[in-house]
Amino acid sequence: MSPLASLPNPLFANGRSVLARFGYRHLDDHERREDWPDMWALLRGDFALPAGQAVPGYREMDDRRQAAARDYMTRRLLADRNLEICERLHVEIFTKGVSADAVERYAVARDAYEDSVEAFGAARDTVAALLVRARVA
């Protein structure tokens, strides 16, 4: 279980366990994560290439594709972080009570999370296009 407080809403806790299959793990504020080849190994299944073409490993990609993959993974890490912020604020609403300020903080955090998920999706599209071009070229 994450060091985050227990949540009254099991959707958050269940969501973390699903994300963990794709490399999610709680990071403290001072921690960084740059194990790009390991993260890529978990996330490369998100990409489909034409039959008979495998998605390359991180080290098999050229610099341009590695940079796009790092951007994709960095955006995923940001989305993970934003999800944790939403969780903390959600717990705060349940533990300290509903207030306009608490709900507003949660709404702002939720918007940031949704924006980060959209950016993650856009980065995925960029990587996908580069991987297809790599196979065509």
Question: What's residue 90's pLDDT?
Answer: 87
Q: Are 11 and 90 in contact (CB under 8 A)?
A: no
Which pTM was predicted?
0.79
| Whole-number pLDDT of residue 3 | 43
d(CA 96, CA 98): 7
Please give the structure tokens belonging to residue 53: 């073409």
pLDDT in tens, 48-64: 888 778 899 999 999 99
**Pair 85, 109: CB distance under 8 Å:** yes
Summarised one tens digit per residue, pLDDT across range 15-31 is: 666 666 666 666 666 66
* 97 DSSP assignment: -
Query: What digits encode the pLDDT tens for the residues 67-109?
Result: 999 999 999 988 888 988 998 898 899 889 899 999 999 999 9
For the chain, what is the mean pLDDT?
A: 83
